[in-house]
Amino acid sequence: MTDQPGTADNGGAAFENMVSLLDYPMFVVTTASEGHRAGCLVGFTSQTSINPPKFLVGLSRKNHTFTVAQEADHLAVHLLPREELAVAKLFGGTSGDSTDKFAQCGWSPGPEGMPILDAAAAWFVGRVSKRFELGDHVGHLLEPVDGNAPEDLGELITFSDVRDIDPGHDA
């Protein structure tokens, strides 16, 4: 049965092949709570509503960022221009468990105390309105409260730019 189209057995393999071929935008999601800052590279995202605007971010339960986000009311979502690959590697290839990422990049405190990265091509801060169990990731539904985006974003970092980064944390 494993090679029959549409069976549950080959669904997992087909799905993995399919998503490995997609090229979607990557984000760095930061947050802060109780004096701790955190952030990681994130690919599991989607806008889920136009009016009111809502955006879903999937954070792995094992990530340092998730632990800090559990106590936070807001997240900051950043898009990075392609020339900022080093920042993507910092946030995707190292963990806040052992590395102070914010000592190694430019940032400033933004709305709701969220750390805003200097490297961002565009960003928004969203209030976490709901959290959902989504498997090994937890969905954080955001309602944008502030942000900054130019008319033209230029070339952005996408999955194909970062797929070879060894994640700083097991998923």
Ligand X SMILES: Cc1cc2nc3c(=O)[nH]c(=O)nc-3n(C[C@H](O)[C@H](O)[C@H](O)COP(=O)(O)O)c2cc1C
Burial readout 135-152 (b: 16 or more C-beta within 10 A, e: otherwise): eebbbbbbbeebbeeeee
Of the candidates 37, 74, 140, 169, which one interacts with ligand X according to CB under 6 A?
Answer: 169
- The 121-140 site mask, x for binding ligand X (CB under 6 A), equals ----------------x---
> Nearer Cβ to ligand X, position 7 or 47?
47
Does the footprint of ligand X cover residue 58 (CB under 6 A)?
Answer: yes
Q: Largest alpha-carbon pair distance within the chain?
A: 55
State phi, psi for 88 to the nearest 5 degrees. -60, -40
Residue written as token pair 């969203």: 126
Of the candidates 33, 44, 143, 147, which one interacts with ligand X according to CB under 6 A?
Answer: 44
Of the candidates 31, 56, 96, 110, which one interacts with ligand X according to CB under 6 A?
Answer: 96
Does the footprint of ligand X cover residue 31 (CB under 6 A)?
Answer: no
Q: Is the peptide bond before 52 cis (omega within 30 degrees of 0)?
A: yes
- The 64-83 site mask, x for binding ligand X (CB under 6 A), equals xx------------------
Closest CA to 165 of 35, 6, 3, 26: 26
Amino acid letter for position 109: P
Query: Rule CB under 6 A: which residues touch ligand X?
Result: 38, 40-44, 58-60, 63-65, 92-97, 137, 159, 162-163, 165, 167-169
